[in-house]
Amino acid sequence: MKKHNFSAGPCILPQEVLQKASEAVINFNNSNLSLIEISHRSDDFVAVMENARSLVLELLGLQNKGYQALFLQGGASMQFLMVAYNLLNKKAAYLNTGTWSSKAIKEAKIFGDIVEVASSEDKNFTYIPKGYTIPADSDYFHCTSNNTIYGTQLKEFPSFNGTTVCDMSSDIFSRQLDFSKFDLIYAGAQKNMGPAGTTLVVVKESILGNVNRVIPSMLKYKTHIEKDSMFNTPPVFAVYTSMLTLQWLKKLGGISFIEGVNNKKAALLYTEIDRNSLFSGVVEKDDRSIMNATFTLTNESLKSKFDAMWKEAGINGLNGHRSVGGYRASMYNALPLYSVQALVDVMQELERIS
Ligand SMILES: *Cc1c(COP(=O)(O)O)cnc(C)c1O
């Protein structure tokens, strides 16, 4: 039986997407050729890239608004430096909400002055700082919408008049936002979209071309825009699988539909964490992530019993990140409600027998 997959990333993808992707590896579009053994310049693959890029803008509501969607390589981690390379002249403002933000800050410091407008490091990133000011002369403001490791999520974004950049790796396509408030969004594919190997970048073209430095071709957004995201060989399997996931999401009813499902899943689990005295949530309630729920046992001596029980129930990927400990249930778009119910059942069973 298929496992209940709560893995934080790479993570669960829709079963029908995996089915279609695996078929295309053997016989792509009835060509009697594999997706991964044909030219990326073939009509069939060019159509995949175009479709994937346009589905991104359609689902985000960013069509005809001056944005370009790109499928690049190097992971979200490459974007930590590409963002600064392409946008940072003198000074940029960063909100530090965890490991990924910290890594983005480290890379950006190579290119200019970084103002850390606020940080939640004092409490091991268990909350989202609020009420900070962003210097008006910042070239851009950078934030991380969802903190995969700690299980916090920005519910509101600061109103900043300048360029706004957001790492949405772990909650893109999971909830409705006014995406036009962002000038550059990036997300590694392996949480909510597809396999590792491609990174989605959605960028407003008008913010580019304002830095003085020479940017190597591969690290320059304009290169990839001019070449329709095909400057060099794209990761064809990752892009194709991402396209299938985007089609799946569109067919279901898009982000507004999946947001409803995601809210139900999160409510089911957080209600149990709060109700069951054997468990406690790790982060501030107001800042809880809908995607990644972190929690601990209130009685550590139950650990081996609980671990055996959830494994027995067919649950996978529940261990917390090594820097946080405890448990983390990642409830990405493709995770069904019944998988969350299976976890809640185990939590209630532990309570019953303890
Ligand atoms: C996973 C993750 C990253 C790192 O992504 P890579 O593609 O492995 O570089 C960056 N930011 C966030 C928020 C993540 O969840």
241 three-class SS: helix
Mean pLDDT of 6-11: 97
Annotate 270-330 with three-state secondary structure: HHHHHHCCCEEECCCHHHECCCEEEEEECCHHHHHHHHHHHHHCCEECCECCCCCCCEEEE
Name the nearest CA neighbour of 349 among 317, 294, 305, 292: 305
Indicate the helix (H) or strand (E) that contains 101. Answer: helix 99-108
Q: How far apart are CA 86 and CA 324, in angstroms?
A: 33
pLDDT of amino acid 297: 98
Vertex 112 angle, CA 107 and 116, to 5°? 70
Share the mean pLDDT of the chain.
Answer: 97
Q: Which residue has the higher pLDDT, 167 or 1?
A: 167
pLDDT of amino acid 272: 98
Q: Find tokens 């530090």 and name the residue.
A: 96
Determine the angle formed by the axes of helices 43-60 and 236-252, rounding to 10 degrees. 40
Residues 301-316 pLDDT 10s: 999 999 999 999 999 9
Nearest-10 Cα torsion for 240, 232, 228, 198: 40
Mean pLDDT of 120-135: 97
Q: How far apart are CA 53 and CA 200, in angstroms?
A: 9
Residues 274-309 pLDDT 10s: 999 999 999 999 999 999 999 999 999 999 999 999
What are the tokens at 127?
């909350």
- How close is the Cα of 65 to the center of ligand 1, in Å? 27
Nearest residue (CA) to ligand 1, atom 14: 169
Our answer to whether residue 65 is catalytic in this structure is: no
Cis check for the bond before 10: say yes or no (omega within 30 of 0).
yes
pLDDT of amino acid 136: 97
Model confidence at 67: pLDDT above 90? yes
Residues 199-234 pLDDT 10s: 999 999 999 999 999 999 999 999 999 999 999 999
Ligand 1: list residues with CB < 6 Å.
9, 75-77, 100, 144, 148, 167, 169-170, 188, 191
Which residue(s) pair with 279 in the sheet?
297
pLDDT of amino acid 61: 98
pLDDT of amino acid 327: 98
Which of the following CATH numbers is that of domain 254-353: 3.90.1150.10, 3.40.640.10, 1.10.10.10, 3.20.20.70?
3.90.1150.10
Model confidence at 1: pLDDT above 90? no
Domain ranges of the chain: 15-252, 254-353
Our answer to whether residue 191 is catalytic in this structure is: yes
Mean pLDDT of 324-336: 97
Model confidence at 348: pLDDT above 80? yes
What are the tokens at 83?
């963002």
Name the nearest CA neighbour of 233 among 83, 27, 85, 46: 46
Nearest atom in ligand 1 to 100's CA = 11
Nearest atom in ligand 1 to 188's CA = 7
Same fold, 15-252 and 254-353: no
With the most atoms of ligand 1 within 8 angstroms of its CB, the residue from 82, 95, 102, 148 to mutate is 148
Query: The domain at 15-252 falls in which architecture?
Result: 3-Layer(aba) Sandwich (3.40)
Mean pLDDT of 34-45: 97
